[in-house]
Amino acid sequence: MIDLEENIRKTNHSREQRNYFANLILDNPELLPQLLAICHQVDDEISCRASWGLEFLCKKRLDAILPYLDSFTEILPKVHQHPAVRPMAKICEYLIIAYYKEKNPIVQESLTTPYREKITEACFDWLISDQKVAAKAYSMTSLYLLGTEFDWVHPELKVTLENNYHQGSAAYKARSRMILKKL
C-alpha cells in the first residue's frame, strides 16, 4: 500500500522529484482522488507539494484530470499559497490551450461551460491579487483564449492589464504587452 501523504511530504521542488511523483500517480491512478483531497488542504504546506505533482501529472497526461474537474475547479478559488497557485494556474493554462488552441476533442467534451467559467474567475482573481508573475502570466494566456468565447473577458482583461502595467515586473510587462497586442 502506497502512503501518498508520506510520498508528498518527501517531494521537493526538483524536476526529478516532481516527475517521480507524477509517474507514481500515473502508475496508480486510484490515488488521484486522494491527491486532489490533499490539494484541498490549502492552508497546509502539503497542498503546495501535492500541487507540484499534480501539475507534472497534467503535463504528462492531461486527460488524467478530466474525470476530476469538479474537484479541481472547486479547489481553484481556495488556493492562496504562492507555491500552490502557480501550478494550479499552469494546469488551467494546459486545459485552456488544449481546449481552444489544440482543439483536443476529449478536453472539449469534458471541459464544459461551467468549468471554463470557474477557470475564468480563478484566473481573474489571480491576475488582480498579490500573486507572483508566473501565475499571472499563465492567467493572462488562459484569459486571452477564454475571451475568444466569452465576449466580456477581453475588455476586462485589457482594462486590468493596462491598469496594472506600471506596477508590474519586467516579466509581467512583457507578457502584458504580448497579450495587449493581440487584443
pLDDT at 134: 95
pLDDT for res 32? 96
Mean pLDDT by 10 residues, the chain (183 residues): 84 83 92 96 94 95 97 97 96 98 98 98 96 96 98 97 91 93 94
Q: How many CA atoms lie within 13 A of 43 on its CB side?
A: 0
| Cα distance between the two ends of the chain | 51
Residue 28 corresponds to which amino acid?
A: N
Per-residue model confidence (pLDDT) at position 15: 84
State the pLDDT at residue 168: 86
pLDDT at 8: 87
CA distances from 53 to 48, 50, 113, 182 (A): 9, 5, 26, 32
Q: What is the pLDDT of residue 4?
A: 87
